[in-house]
Amino acid sequence: MLTSQRALFDMPRDVCYLNAAAWSPLPLAVQEAGRRGVARKGRPWSIDQAFPSRECERARNAAAHLINADANDVALISSVAYGVATAAKGLTVAPGSRVLVLQEDHASPVLEWMARSAEGGFSLETIERPGDGDWTEALLAAIRRPGAAPVAIASISWIHWSDGGLVHLEKVAAALRAQGAALLIDATHGAGVLPMDVKTLDPDFVVFPTYKWLLGPYGRAFLYVAKRHQDKTPLEQTAFGRRAVRAEQVTYFADTRYLPDARRFDMGERDHFISLEMASIGIEMVSGWGSAPIAERLGMLTARLVDGLTGLDLVIAPTHVRAPHVLCFALPERVADGLVARLAAENVHIAARLGRVRISPHVYNDEADIERFVAALRRALSP
Ligand SMILES: Cc1ncc(COP(=O)(O)O)c(C=O)c1O
């Protein structure tokens, strides 16, 4: 089994950080890349002109590798919301059709469609949280509901950010495909930790940022765009999104046709090379460990956590409907109020999301962290 990677982080032993789903710490190597990048920008005359585009391709390749995509199908963007806006700008959603989202999903895969539904004449259908926690079955039922309007697209998280629920994507993708509907996956809490193969899954769009599970900086995210959507208009108009609009040429606007692949969707100022190298190194580290070993280790830690909570009156979803690395459960109100702050005062860091606590370990965590959290929670729950 993958061992704890704590030594690669600036994480003192007395810190119990179980909050990767909010934001991860940067590995030492990523911090070092950031410092290097700042020093480079401090002396721009030393930067080789080809350096930014080399770094763009390095990050694009690293991100593509996580989901088994071709680098040509991946755009460099800034956030999940940017990716969803890009998808929505290009996609024709027929009036009268349905766009499916999950109840209380993160705002980024939802709000774009909400903002467009009235003008576009389509309905936004929010799939309610199922009592048994099985988002996959709830989605399948909504997609196949007899007599319902056709589905245009499902814009959904792979792993629900506030309850840790896991969507089994293959089943949902197949059901959508059978109707000719599109699939946008917010892979924020999955990319790098769980395997994804876009070549077999064939989603329309996959989007994920670097600052959580990929151990990278803010402001860096990636958008996979299936080839069938690569003729669409990007969100922003940039020189590098076109075939030949270059400052080095005598004629600036020599060829304004868009690039033929997903690079046309790259965001403005994508060359911000400080965060680019940081993002690449974080992703390369995650890839180096591999999603299966990471998931195995994190699954072991959350299983230990569930064992440690045995006997307490807590409702924890069964393993087949939840992610191995994000554990969420509700607590009695008297305990929940102020719990995150109380634990943080003891240097135990977790999150509260929509009435649940969320515990999200990463490769720097170990059994001692889990035991420490369990002991702290048991103290909080004791009358
Ligand atoms: C499921 C999910 N999607 C997206 C985001 C972040 O979105 P954005 O990059 O648009 O800020 C988060 C952050 O918590 C999230 O949990």
Q: Is the CB of 102 under 6 A from ligand 1?
A: no
pLDDT at position 333 over 90: no
Which pLDDT does position 383 carry in this prediction?
Answer: 76
pLDDT at position 167 over 90: yes
Query: Per-residue pLDDT averaged across 34-59, rounded?
Result: 96
Which pLDDT does position 124 carry in this prediction?
Answer: 98
Query: Per-residue pLDDT averaged across 200-215, rounded?
Result: 98
Q: Is the CB of 188 under 6 A from ligand 1?
A: yes
Most distant CA pair in the chain, distance: 77
pLDDT at position 169 over 90: yes
- Written out in words, the top-level CATH class of the domain with range 34-287 is alpha beta
Query: Per-residue pLDDT averaged across 168-183, rounded?
Result: 98
Q: Is the CB of 81 under 6 A from ligand 1?
A: yes
Q: How many CA atoms lie within 13 A of 89 on its CB side?
A: 15
Which pLDDT does position 382 carry in this prediction?
Answer: 86
pLDDT at position 16 over 90: yes
Distance in Å, CA 310 to ligand 1 centroid: 31
Q: Is the CB of 328 under 6 A from ligand 1?
A: no
Confidence of residue 73 (pLDDT cuts 50, 70, 90): very high
The CA distance from 28 to 266, in Å, is 28
pLDDT at position 18 over 90: yes
pLDDT at position 106 over 80: yes
Q: Whose CA is nearest to atom 14 of ligand 1?
A: 22
Which pLDDT does position 237 carry in this prediction?
Answer: 98
Q: Is the CB of 155 under 6 A from ligand 1?
A: no
Looking at ligand 1, which atom is closest to the CA of residue 159? Answer: 1
Q: Which two tokens stand for residue 83?
A: 């990716």
Q: What sign does the dihedral 163-299-223-10 (CA atoms) show?
A: positive
The CA distance from 21 to 25, in Å, is 11
Confidence of residue 320 (pLDDT cuts 50, 70, 90): very high
pLDDT digit string, tens, across residues 212-270: 999 999 999 999 999 999 999 999 999 999 999 999 999 999 999 999 999 999 999 99
Confidence of residue 332 (pLDDT cuts 50, 70, 90): confident
> 53: how many CB neighbours lie within 10 A of its CB?
13
Distance in Å, CA 220 to ligand 1 centroid: 12
Q: Would you give the DSSP letter of residue 214?
A: T
Going from N- to C-terminal start, the domains of the chain cover 6-18+291-381, 34-287
Distance in Å, CA 232 to ligand 1 centroid: 24
pLDDT at position 288 over 90: yes
Question: Could you say which architecture CATH assigns to the domain 6-18+291-381?
Answer: Alpha-Beta Complex (3.90)
Looking at the chain, the whole-number percentage of residues with pLDDT higher than 70 is 100
Query: Per-residue pLDDT averaged across 350-361, rounded?
Result: 95
Looking at ligand 1, which atom is closest to the CA of residue 189? Answer: 1
> Do 6-18+291-381 and 34-287 come out as alike in CATH topology?
no
